[in-house]
Amino acid sequence: MCGIAGIASHDRGGLDPGALAAMSAALAHRGPDDAGEAALGDCLLAARRLSIIDLAGGHQPIAGCDGRVTVVQNGEIYNHAALREELERLGHRFRTRSDTEVLAHAYEEWGEGFAVRLRGMFAVALWDAGAARLVLARDRFGIQPLFYAQRGGRLAFASELTALAHAPGFSRELDPDAVAAFLAFNSIPAPLSAYRAARKLPPGHLMTWERGRTRMVRYARPRPVDRGDERSGTPEELAAEVRARLRDSVRAHLVADVPVGVLLSGGIDSSALTALAAEATAGRVATFSVGFEERSFDELESARAVARRYDTEHHELIVRPDAAELLPRIAAAYDEPSGDSSALPTFLVCELAAAHVKVVLSGEGGDELFGGYQTYVADRIAPVAGPVARLARPLLERLPSGSGRVPIDYKLKRFARAAHLPPLERHLGWKEIFSPALRAELTRGARAADPLVVYRERYAETAGAAELARLQDVDLGLYLVDDLLVKTDRMSMTHSLEARVPFLDTAVADLALALHTGHKVRGPATKRLLRRAVAPLVPAAVARGRKRGFSIPAAAWLRGPLLPFAREVLSPDALRREGVFDPTAVTRLLDRHAAGQEDLSRQLWGLMAFTLWQRRGAP
User: Do the beta carbons of residue 14 and residue 154 sit within 8 Å?
Assistant: yes
User: Do the beta carbons of residue 560 and residue 403 sit within 8 Å?
Assistant: no
User: Do the beta carbons of residue 350 and residue 492 sit within 8 Å?
Assistant: yes
Q: Where are the alpha helices (DSSP H) in 115-196?
A: 161-164, 176-185
Instruction: List, in sequence order, every residue forming a beta bridge with 286; answer none if it has no partner.
Output: 261, 313
Angle at 489 between CA 488 and CA 492, to 5 degrees: 80
CA 372 to chain centre: 17
User: Which amino acid type is present at position 288?
Assistant: F
User: Do the beta carbons of residue 605 and residue 341 sit within 8 Å?
Assistant: yes
2 is catalytic: yes
User: Do the beta carbons of residue 612 and residue 331 sit within 8 Å?
Assistant: yes
Buried b (16+ CB within 10 A) or exposed e, 80-118: beebbebbeeeebebeebbbbbbbbbbbbbeebebbeeb
290: left (phi over 0), alpha (psi -120 to 50) or beta: beta
Strand 286-292 with 313-319, pairing: parallel
Catalytic, out of 2, 43, 65, 350? 2
CA dihedral 555→558→562→568, nearest 10 degrees, is 150
What is the edge-to-edge ordering of all strands in the sheet holding 43-49?
A: 34-40, 43-49, 2-9, 154-158, 147-151, 199-200
Contacts of 130 (CB under 8 A, 6+ apart): 68
549: left (phi over 0), alpha (psi -120 to 50) or beta: left
CA distances from 159 to 23, 71, 154, 259 (A): 10, 14, 17, 24
User: Do the beta carbons of residue 537 and residue 242 sit within 8 Å?
Assistant: no
By annotation, the residues acting in catalysis are: 2
